[in-house]
């Protein structure tokens, strides 16, 4: 029974109720399911009530009675009000089971007809609440839901706490939420059982705020705007949604340097305490809100002589955070600063910026404040802003450089050299470097609406194309227009043909065409003296040749690494350093690959190159995965995915690699989910290249999950795709061993051997030692399936040693695991070679477990534990020799037939031979055809005739 219908929730809560709260939601739900109680706490607007409602809706189905109350500040002085909300509708149901004194006291408190007080009827009331809850619990589980615990009237809070501390094993669970600042929630736990779980709700990440805004329909916001919303809201979901609503209702987005529009609802919420400050103190706080890193010294330099006393008073009112050990002036919440700035008249804002333009010590800050204090075009201000943007770029702050560049363009008079559009395009390129692709694309498209100079138009088209990322098919129309604008200028044509190389690869899936376009772009750039584009084109050509298994790849890499180098290209994820890394890792030179990547990652972080950082984190994760450092790989992959989601760049690739890392060292279910996401994104983008990688990750995750048939389906698609786009180097995706293994598991042994033979030719040609070792491991499984156990074990032993020498720790452990499984496989004495005694062999999985533990390969360790715990049954006695009637059968067919003769079922045969039941059935069909019989009964008859002879 659920009471208080006005609080009743639907059976399924809205998805936004738990966006960003999945982990803590699961923790709280598990505590409730196990019979415990939960206290949710956090600041106003953080989402406590929504999570509480979602938990209550989920658990309500398991509870017979749900009691609810939601207190308010205005009613907190009314005694017993919350108690009336909780028990008012169930009093009649249980009153006859209460002692008379308790019933009288409780009725008086709930109805207000008497004069019951805690002082006069304290014990009776306390016992009455406890007895009521016990009586309700006797009929089934009870859930007590109390929101805004901080406004609970003191009498109700005291009674509820008394009962909660004495419920013991009674099936009564309390689910409460309370507003707190910091960690001050202990006193509220007195209203809950002693073992209650306290769960703090913290701010959402930028990606979670973006997901929440999308879910609520605010989908037209650029990523840079979402970044500003996240920063201004401090990750508070209520504040973020209000800011998103205000932006959606505002037809013109704020320009760079301008604040977000703060809606009246939030201004009233955070600025009510400002009325208690004098005007001069408010102006001091306005100067602080306009500064990037305000300090008392800065405020003094800006002319605020009484800054200490004014900021101290603001801190007393809760507007500023107290910083006893530091000089910083920090607002208690970013929204206070934003609302204060938005509330101020325009002339006061300009005055604050004018004061800061001389007070700030940093030249970038001085230039920004000067721009915001100036209205209209001013060439001197524009020049200072352009210089500040260049300085920010050199400092590794491309996002700041983009903002300053747009301010410079706004203050640049028409007809100047450089002109406004040239400065806008530089800002767009800075935005691309910072990972703000939406902003970059919008700037470029704006320039294209009015620019007539070919150089500016081609430069703008390049920004549009690059901002599309892997979804180059969406900007197909840009290429012919860019070619037309380039005319016969070799420098401009080189830029276009470099992007055409990417189009040929990503959209058409044609490595050969991409290589040709890149070579042509390099030639054009060299003719025009554009070393930057030449280096990028050579790096692309080198990567394409590496993946194609082209013999010229090392020579092209050497050309791309020749001096002179462009520092930004040298560390770019599409530069020569990246091409060399790919060649190193495919050549099994893992230590060199790691060293190369570490240096590249350090440099792109220094320069603030967001997209390159995402790529290099992923590359480094791949290197650690190959080395068998699964925990480290998982951390790096997750970081890459987090950054990719925040910036909206490289998400499919990062999801793909994180799937591989999860399958190796994390959670297989998560691996499957990420792989499916990567496949979906690649298909949406029309990205054939990453589609094959994503499908390979999906196939691997399915194999680790134990679904060999699904793995075969995914990996066969990979084979078809890579054959179509011209990838011949098996070290690129390293999926071939997985497919061969999955084929063996599904009984398609011949296809597995064919795949191994074909792949081995390419691996031998290119000297891919680790690929050859993995192929040999798969071939050992083929031999085992054919009954060649000794040869299979010898091959696996050799494979394990070779992979250990190459430093491929996880693959080494997988070889040890297969060897252990093969050693535990019981063999019938009748199937042993002539003159060989039957011997079971070692049954320990210790070596495989040790190696997987060293790698922190948790999913594989679980497989080892499962295999060790379920050893197959010992075989029944078999004839001393192979029956004469079976001489013409293949090895696998003889094994299956012999086990049928022993009386084994198809399922038992499958378990003992490590094959599927379907494979047993298919093998028996071939046996019947070769022996001219119709059923397994005829095989048993052959065995009987053999014994009679």
pLDDT in tens, 744-795: 999 999 999 999 999 999 999 999 999 999 999 999 999 999 989 889 999 9
User: How far apart, in Å, are the Cα atoms of 361 and each of 295, 365, 368, 629?
Assistant: 12, 8, 12, 46
DSSP for 919-943, written as a single string: HHHHHHHHHHHHHT--SHHHHHHHH
Residue 703, phi then psi, degrees to nearest 5: -65, -45
The answer to whether 822 and 783 have CB atoms below 8 angstroms apart is: no
Peptide bond into 857 cis (omega under 30): no
Q: Give pLDDT, residue 677.
A: 94
> What secondary structure letter does DSSP report for 113?
S
| pLDDT band, very low/low/confident/very high, at 12 (cuts 50, 70, 90) | very low
More confident residue, 194 or 68: 68
Q: Give pLDDT, residue 13.
A: 41
pLDDT at 323 over 70: no
pLDDT at 229 over 80: yes
| pLDDT band, very low/low/confident/very high, at 187 (cuts 50, 70, 90) | low
> What secondary structure letter does DSSP report for 258?
P
Lowest-confidence pick of 229-233, 872-876, 930-934: 872-876
> What secondary structure letter does DSSP report for 151?
G
pLDDT at 118 over 70: no
Q: Give pLDDT, residue 7.
A: 31
Residue 197, phi then psi, degrees to nearest 5: -95, 125
Q: What is the dihedral of CA 316, 322, 325, 328, to 10 degrees?
A: -110
Q: Give pLDDT, residue 932.
A: 75
| pLDDT band, very low/low/confident/very high, at 15 (cuts 50, 70, 90) | very low
Residue 331, phi then psi, degrees to nearest 5: -70, 150
Q: Give pLDDT, residue 255.
A: 67
Specify the DSSP element, H or E, that contains 762: helix 749-766
Lowest-confidence pick of 110-124, 390-404, 669-683, 850-864: 110-124
Global confidence as pTM: 0.72
Q: Give pLDDT, residue 181.
A: 72
Tens-digit pLDDT profile for residues 370-417: 999 998 899 999 999 999 999 999 888 898 999 999 999 999 999 899
pLDDT at 265 over 60: yes
pLDDT at 273 over 90: no
Q: Give pLDDT, residue 613.
A: 93
Neighbouring C-beta atoms of residue 692, cutoff 10 Å = 24
Q: Give pLDDT, residue 487.
A: 95
Give a three-class secondary structure readout of 188-238.
HHHHCCCCCEEEECCCCCHHHHHHHHHHCCCCCCCHHHHHHHHHHHCCCHH
| pLDDT band, very low/low/confident/very high, at 110 (cuts 50, 70, 90) | confident
Q: Give pLDDT, residue 481.
A: 96
Mean pLDDT, to the nearest integer, of 268-282? 81
Write b or e for each residue in 77-110: b if 16 or more Cβ atoms lie within 10 A of its Cβ, otherwise e: eebbbbbbbbbbebbebbbeebeeebbbbbbbbb
**Cα distance between residue 708 and residue 396, in whole Å:** 48
Tens-digit pLDDT profile for residues 294-320: 889 999 999 999 999 999 888 888 888
pLDDT at 836 over 50: no
839, burial (CB in 10 Å: exposed 0-12, middle 13-18, buried 19+): exposed
Q: Give pLDDT, residue 182.
A: 57
Tens-digit pLDDT profile for residues 566-593: 988 989 999 989 989 988 999 999 999 9
Task: Name the range with the highest mean pLDDT among 62-66, 198-202, 272-276, 486-490.
Answer: 486-490
Mean pLDDT, to the nearest integer, of 562-569? 90
The answer to whether 798 and 764 have CB atoms below 8 angstroms apart is: no
The answer to whether 715 and 699 have CB atoms below 8 angstroms apart is: yes
Mean pLDDT, to the nearest integer, of 168-187? 80
> What secondary structure letter does DSSP report for 80?
T
Mean pLDDT, to the nearest integer, of 114-128? 71
The answer to whether 458 and 479 have CB atoms below 8 angstroms apart is: no
pLDDT at 100 over 90: no
**Cα distance between residue 730 and residue 696, in whole Å:** 12
Q: Give pLDDT, residue 1.
A: 35
User: How far apart, in Å, are the Cα atoms of 791 and each of 95, 101, 309, 779, 890?
Assistant: 81, 87, 86, 10, 16
Q: Give pLDDT, residue 859.
A: 94
Mean pLDDT, to the nearest integer, of 420-448? 92
| pLDDT band, very low/low/confident/very high, at 835 (cuts 50, 70, 90) | very low
pLDDT at 176 over 70: yes
Mean pLDDT, to the nearest integer, of 235-260? 77
Q: Rounded to 5, what percent of the chain is helix, strand, coil?
A: 70, 5, 30
More confident residue, 788 or 899: 788
Q: For residue 432, give every residue at least 6 positions away whose Cβ sits within 8 Å of its Cβ, in sequence order, or none.
A: 440, 463, 466, 467, 611
Mean pLDDT, to the nearest integer, of 156-166? 87
Neighbouring C-beta atoms of residue 363, cutoff 10 Å = 13
Lowest-confidence pick of 186-200, 698-712, 911-925: 911-925
Tens-digit pLDDT profile for residues 857-880: 999 999 998 888 765 544 444 433
Mean pLDDT, to the nearest integer, of 502-526? 91
Q: Give pLDDT, residue 936.
A: 73
| pLDDT band, very low/low/confident/very high, at 882 (cuts 50, 70, 90) | very low
605, burial (CB in 10 Å: exposed 0-12, middle 13-18, buried 19+): middle
Average model confidence (pLDDT) for the chain? 85
What's the chain's length in residues? 949
- Helix (H/G/I), strand (E/B), else coil: 173: strand
What are the helix and strand counts (H, E) for the chain? 47, 7
Neighbouring C-beta atoms of residue 308, cutoff 10 Å = 13
- Helix (H/G/I), strand (E/B), else coil: 697: helix
| pLDDT band, very low/low/confident/very high, at 185 (cuts 50, 70, 90) | low
Q: What is the dihedral of CA 441, 445, 451, 456, to 10 degrees?
A: 20
**Cα distance between residue 623 and residue 735, in whole Å:** 16
**Cα distance between residue 3 and residue 833, in whole Å:** 77
Mean pLDDT, to the nearest integer, of 43-71? 86
Percent of the chain, pLDDT > 90? 43
pLDDT at 713 over 90: yes
Task: Name the range with the highest mean pLDDT among 512-516, 687-691, 734-738.
Answer: 734-738
**Cα distance between residue 783 and residue 793, in whole Å:** 9
Q: Give pLDDT, residue 116.
A: 54
């Amino acid at each position: 029974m659920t009471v208080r219908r006005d609080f009743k929730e639907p059976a399924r809560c809205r998805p936004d109720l738990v966006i960003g709260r999945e982990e803590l939601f699961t923790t709280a739900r598990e505590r409730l399911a196990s019979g415990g109680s939960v206290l949710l706490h956090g600041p106003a607007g953080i989402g406590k009530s929504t999570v509480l409602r979602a938990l209550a809706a989920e658990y309500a189905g398991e509870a017979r009675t749900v009691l609810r109350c939601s207190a308010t500040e205005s009613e907190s002085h009314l005694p017993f009000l919350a108690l009336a909300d909780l028990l008012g509708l169930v009093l009649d149901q249980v009153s006859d089971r209460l002692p008379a004194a308790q019933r009288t006291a409780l009725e008086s408190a709930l109805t207000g007809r008497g004069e019951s007080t805690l002082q006069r009827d304290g014990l009776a009331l306390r016992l009455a609440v406890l007895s009521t809850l016990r009586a309700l619990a006797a009929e089934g589980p009870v859930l007590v839901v109390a929101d805004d615990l901080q406004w609970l009237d003191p009498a109700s809070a005291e009674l509820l706490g008394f009962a909660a501390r004495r419920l013991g094993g009674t099936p009564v669970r309390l689910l409460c939420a309370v507003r707190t600042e910091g960690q001050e929630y202990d006193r509220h736990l007195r209203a809950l059982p002693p073992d209650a779980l306290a769960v703090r709700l913290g701010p959402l990440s930028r990606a979670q705020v973006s997901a929440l805004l999308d879910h609520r329909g605010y989908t037209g916001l650029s990523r840079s705007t979402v970044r500003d919303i996240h920063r201004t809201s401090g990750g508070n979901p209520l504040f973020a949604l209000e800011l998103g609503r205000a932006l959606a209702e505002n037809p013109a987005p704020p320009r760079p340097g301008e604040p977000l529009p703060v809606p009246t609802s939030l201004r009233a919420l955070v600025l009510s305490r400002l009325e208690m400050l004098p005007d001069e103190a408010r102006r001091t706080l306005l100067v602080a809100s306009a500064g990037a890193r305000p300090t008392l010294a800065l405020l003094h330099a800006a002319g605020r002589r009484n800054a200490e006393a004014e900021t101290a008073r603001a801190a007393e009112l809760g507007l500023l955070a107290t910083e006893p050990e530091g000089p910083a002036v920090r607002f208690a919440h970013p929204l206070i600063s934003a609302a204060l700035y938005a509330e101020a008249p325009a002339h006061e804002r300009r005055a604050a910026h004018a004061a800061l333009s001389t007070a700030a010590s940093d030249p970038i800050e001085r230039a920004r404040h000067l721009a915001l204090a100036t209205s209209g075009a001013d060439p001197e201000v524009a020049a200072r802003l352009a210089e500040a943007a260049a300085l920010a770029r050199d400092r590794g702050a491309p996002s700041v450089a983009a903002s300053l560049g747009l301010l410079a363009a706004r203050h640049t008079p028409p007809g100047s050299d450089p002109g406004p559009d040239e400065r806008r395009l530089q800002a767009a390129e800075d935005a691309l470097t910072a990972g703000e692709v939406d902003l970059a694309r919008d700037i470029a498209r704006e320039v294209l609406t009015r620019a007539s100079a070919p150089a500016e138009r081609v430069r703008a088209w390049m920004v549009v194309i690059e901002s599309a990322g892997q979804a180059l098919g969406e900007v197909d129309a840009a290429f012919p227009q860019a070619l037309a604008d380039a005319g016969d200028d070799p420098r401009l044509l080189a830029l276009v043909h470099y992007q055409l190389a990417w189009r040929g690869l990503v959209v058409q899936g044609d490595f050969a065409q991409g290589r040709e376009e890149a070579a042509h772009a390099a030639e054009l750039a060299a003719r025009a003296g554009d070393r930057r584009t030449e280096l990028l084109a050579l790096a692309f050509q080198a990567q394409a040749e590496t993946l194609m298994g082209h013999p010229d790849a090392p020579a092209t890499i050497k050309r791309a690494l020749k001096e002179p180098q462009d520092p930004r290209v040298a560390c770019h994820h599409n530069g020569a350093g990246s091409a060399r890394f790919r060649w190193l890792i495919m050549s099994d030179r893992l230590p060199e690959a790691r060293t190369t990547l570490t240096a590249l990652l350090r440099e792109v972080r220094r320069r603030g190159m967001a997209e390159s950082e995402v790529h290099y984190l992923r590359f480094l994760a791949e290197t650690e995965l190959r080395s068998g450092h699964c925990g480290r790989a998982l951390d790096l992959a997750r970081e890459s995915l987090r950054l990719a989601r925040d910036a909206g760049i490289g998400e499919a690739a990062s999801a793909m690699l994180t799937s591989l890392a999860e399958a190796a060292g994390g959670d297989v279910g998560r691996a499957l989910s990420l792989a499916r996401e990567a496949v979906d994104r690649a298909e949406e983008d029309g990205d054939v290249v990453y589609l094959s990688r994503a499908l390979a990750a999906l196939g691997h995750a399915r194999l680790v999950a134990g679904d060999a048939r699904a793995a075969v389906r995914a990996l066969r698609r990979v084979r078809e795709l890579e054959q179509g786009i011209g990838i011949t180097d098996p070290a690129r995706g390293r999926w071939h061993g997985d497919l061969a293994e999955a084929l063996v598991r599904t009984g398609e042994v011949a296809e597995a051997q064919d795949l191994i033979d074909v792949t081995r030719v390419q691996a031998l040609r290119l000297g891919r030692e680790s690929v050859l070792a993995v192929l040999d491991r798969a071939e050992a499984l083929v031999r085992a399936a054919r009954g060649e156990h000794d040869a299979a074990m010898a091959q696996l032993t050799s494979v394990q040693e070779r992979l250990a020498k190459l430093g491929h720790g996880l693959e080494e452990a997988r070889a040890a695991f297969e060897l252990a499984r093969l050693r535990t496989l019981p063999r019938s004495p009748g199937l042993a070679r002539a003159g060989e005694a039957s011997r079971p062999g070692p049954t320990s999985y210790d070596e495989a477990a040790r190696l997987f533990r060293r790698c922190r390969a948790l999913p594989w360790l679980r497989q080892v534990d499962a295999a060790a715990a379920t050893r197959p049954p010992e075989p029944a006695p078999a004839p001393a020799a192979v029956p004469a009637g079976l001489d013409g059968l293949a090895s696998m067919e003889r094994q299956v037939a012999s086990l049928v003769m022993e009386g084994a079922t198809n399922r038992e045969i499958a378990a003992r031979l490590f094959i599927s039941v379907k494979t047993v059935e298919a093998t028996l069909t071939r046996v019947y055809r070769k022996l001219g019989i119709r059923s397994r009964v005829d095989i048993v008859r052959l065995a009987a005739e053999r014994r009679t002879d």
